Amino acid sequence: MPRYGMVIDTKRCVGCADCVVACKTENNVPEGYCRDWIVQDVQGDYPDLYMEIRSERCNHCENAPCVRCCPTGASHIVEGGIVLVDHDLCTGCKACIAACPYDARYVHPEGYVDKCTFCIHRVREGKDPACVEVCPTKCMHFGDLDDPRSEVSKLLKSRPHHALIPEAGTEPKIFYLY
Ligand code: SF4
Ligand code: SF4
Ligand code: SF4
């Protein structure tokens, strides 16, 4: 069984937001909401400043508090460790939204909670997630973190990287290359 994750090269990301548009189109994300977004993070002290541009989304955490706290079982984990929300089981109570340190979820206008699915419908067909496929600089990589031959594993082995808010203990599966 794979353990899916993403590796994103922040050196190559130009902040074009094509990944955001692709996701909205692929997943019929309603106007005014998003499953992925761009962050411009300025680090360091003047004059030694550095800006990291990041495409962010649900981290499909290994130790997912949104799944643990869900009272109906709507938030659940499927093959490859992908975290999903069963829209029919979701009551819109927002416990998962409060539990997620990454602000990765939103309440869909139809009343259920929604978020990134790693485009599981595409992954099941052997394709990359929509955001990964459209990225013009090819800075996003999707694959099996447990397979030493996968591109994501090779990148993590060869390049320094970080994950977001590791101190929250959720064990996120999206990594950003420096
Ligand atoms: Fe960055 Fe690629 Fe997204 Fe453009 S599509 S913002 S280059 S990750
Ligand atoms: Fe859950 Fe948030 Fe982690 Fe996604 S990023 S699995 S919504 S805790
Ligand atoms: Fe959107 Fe799919 Fe990318 Fe998730 S994996 S951010 S659902 S395009």
Nearest CA to ligand 1 atom 2: 135
Q: What are phi and psi of 88, to 5 degrees?
A: -70, -30
Dist. CA 176–CA 167, nearest whole Å = 16
- Each residue of 99-108: pLDDT tens digit? 999 999 999 9
- Each residue of 133-171: pLDDT tens digit? 999 999 999 999 999 999 999 999 999 999 999 999 999
Dist. CA 104–CA 137, nearest whole Å = 24
Per-residue pLDDT of the chain (178 residues; tens, 9 = 90+): 899 999 999 999 999 999 999 999 999 999 999 999 999 999 899 999 999 999 999 999 999 999 999 999 999 999 999 999 999 999 999 999 999 999 999 999 999 999 999 999 999 999 999 999 999 999 999 999 999 999 999 999 999 999 999 999 999 999 999 9
- Residue 137 CA, closest ligand 1 atom number: 7
Is residue 62 within 6 Å of ligand 1 at its C-beta? no
| CB neighbourhood size of 74 (10 A) | 21
End-to-end CA distance of the chain: 29
Nearest CA to ligand 2 atom 4: 58
Domain 4-177, CATH among 3.30.70.20, 3.10.129.10, 3.60.140.10, 3.90.1150.200 = 3.30.70.20
Is residue 66 within 6 Å of ligand 2 at its C-beta? yes
Beta bridge partners of 107: 113
* Domain ranges (residues) in the chain: 4-177
Dist. CA 45–CA 52, nearest whole Å = 14
| DSSP collapsed to 3 states, 118-177 | CCHHHHCCCCCCHHHHHCCCCCEEEEECCCCCCHHHHHHHHCCEECCCHHHCCCCCEEEE
pTM for this predicted structure: 0.95
Place of tokens 């599966």: 173
Q: How is residue 19 written in tokens?
A: 């990944």
**Residue pair 121/157 in contact by the 8 Å Cβ criterion:** no
Q: What are phi and psi of 66, to 5 degrees?
A: -65, -30
